[in-house]
């Protein structure tokens, strides 16, 4: 897959010859420096970025634009400020005209999963940044897409909140086994979350290295001080600084 943009002085190739084979239910992290094409690749999978060469397939069907089978979680909050926590999580289900009892039970389930059931009647202005991101996660999983695409969703959070949300997303993934493609700058985050971590460099963006992460699930934060974890972290850093 290639992605080329027309610019004032000609063309800019953002991504070149990126090829990924992601199996159903896998948790994949894309990592690399700014400008290496991680987000461009993610947006291409989402159908938000047209590609200039190649094909992106989902179950043998070419992706030509956004679709309900792909959910997106952005770095910036995307909660609706005029809706409560529960109404935000229910929004997509209502658009799909899901039965009312199903909406109620689904919202309750996912808000309990992310620890926000007791905050269900609050508005986003009454929440911390970490809590708003939990709403984003609950809504994304409640919509039940086949694939979840996440663009540095925890990048703006403090370290303790980020780690708490890393644990939360793994709980959600282990329950649902959604396919997740997760963009991050954080080496430890990539190792903690993913089954496979893909190092990208650029521009133009291309894949330098793929690491199969050997740690079994469920994972907890203590794994980050495991000598084997630190060894794999060093391997990834070596690939990023070459």
Task: Summarize pLDDT for 56-70 with one digit per residue, the tens.
Answer: 988 888 898 999 899
Residue-level pLDDT at 125: 95
Residue-level pLDDT at 39: 93
Residue-level pLDDT at 6: 64
Specify the number of domains making up the chain: 1
Q: Is residue 93 part of a domain?
A: yes
Task: Summarize pLDDT for 69-99 with one digit per residue, the tens.
Answer: 999 999 888 899 999 999 999 999 999 999 9
Residue-level pLDDT at 149: 97
Q: Is residue 169 part of a domain?
A: yes
Residue-level pLDDT at 127: 95
Q: At what angle do helices 85-95 and 100-113 cross, to 10 degrees?
A: 130
Q: What whole-number distance in Å separates Cα of residue 191 and Cα of residue 84?
A: 34
Q: Is residue 220 part of a domain?
A: yes
Q: Residue 122, SS3?
A: coil
Structural domain range at position 31: 25-36+65-194+210-240
Residue-level pLDDT at 7: 62
Give, for 15, the enclosing helix (H) or strand (E): strand 10-15
Q: Is residue 50 part of a domain?
A: no
The long-range contacts involving 77-80, CB below 8 angstroms and separated by at least 24 positions, are 77/124, 77/129, 77/132, 77/133, 77/136, 78/136, 79/124, 79/132, 79/135, 79/136, 79/139, 80/124
Q: Which two tokens mark 57? A: 């397939």
Residue-level pLDDT at 210: 96
First-to-last alpha carbon distance for the chain, in angstroms, is 24
Q: Is residue 53 part of a domain?
A: no
Q: What is the mean pLDDT of each run of 10 residues along the chain (242 residues)?
A: 68 85 96 92 91 87 90 90 97 94 97 96 95 95 95 92 95 95 96 97 91 95 96 95 80
CA angle 151, 172, 64 (to 5 degrees): 45
Residue-level pLDDT at 9: 67
Q: What whole-number distance in Å separates Cα of residue 190 and Cα of residue 209?
A: 14
The long-range contacts involving 7-15, CB below 8 angstroms and separated by at least 24 positions, are 12/203, 13/203, 13/204, 14/40, 14/202, 14/203, 14/204, 14/205, 15/40, 15/41, 15/44, 15/51, 15/202, 15/204, 15/205, 15/206
Q: What whole-number distance in Å separates Cα of residue 176 and Cα of residue 167?
A: 14
Which residues pair with residue 53 across a beta bridge? 2
Q: Is residue 218 part of a domain?
A: yes
What CATH number is given to the structural domain containing 108?
Answer: 3.40.50.300
Q: Is residue 205 part of a domain?
A: no
Task: Output the pTM of the full model.
Answer: 0.93
Residue-level pLDDT at 5: 66
């Amino acid at each position: 897959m290639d992605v080329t943009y027309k610019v004032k002085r000609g063309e800019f190739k953002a991504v070149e010859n990126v090829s990924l084979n992601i199996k159903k239910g896998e948790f994949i992290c894309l990592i690399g420096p700014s400008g290496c094409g991680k987000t461009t690749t993610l947006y291409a999978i989402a159908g938000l970025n047209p590609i200039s060469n190649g094909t992106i397939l989902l179950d043998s069907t070419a992706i030509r634009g956004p679709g309900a089978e792909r959910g997106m979680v952005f770095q910036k909050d995307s909660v609706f400020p005029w809706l409560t926590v529960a109404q935000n999580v229910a929004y997509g289900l209502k658009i799909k005209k899901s039965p009312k009892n199903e909406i109620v039970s689904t919202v309750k389930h996912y808000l309990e999963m992310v620890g926000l059931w007791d905050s269900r009647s609050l508005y986003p202005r009454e929440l911390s940044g970490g809590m708003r991101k939990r709403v984003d996660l609950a809504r994304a999983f409640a919509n039940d897409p086949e694939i979840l695409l996440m663009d540095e969703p925890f990048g703006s959070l403090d370290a303790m909140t980020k780690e708490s949300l890393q644990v939360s997303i793994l709980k959600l993934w282990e329950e649902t086994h959604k396919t997740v493609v997760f963009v991050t700058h954080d080496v430890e985050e990539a190792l903690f979350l993913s089954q496979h971590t893909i190092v990208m460099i650029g521009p133009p963006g291309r894949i330098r290295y793929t690491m199969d992460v050997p740690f079994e699930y469920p994972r907890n934060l203590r794994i980050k001080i495991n000598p084997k974890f630190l060894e794999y972290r060093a391997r990834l850093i070596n690939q990023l600084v070459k």
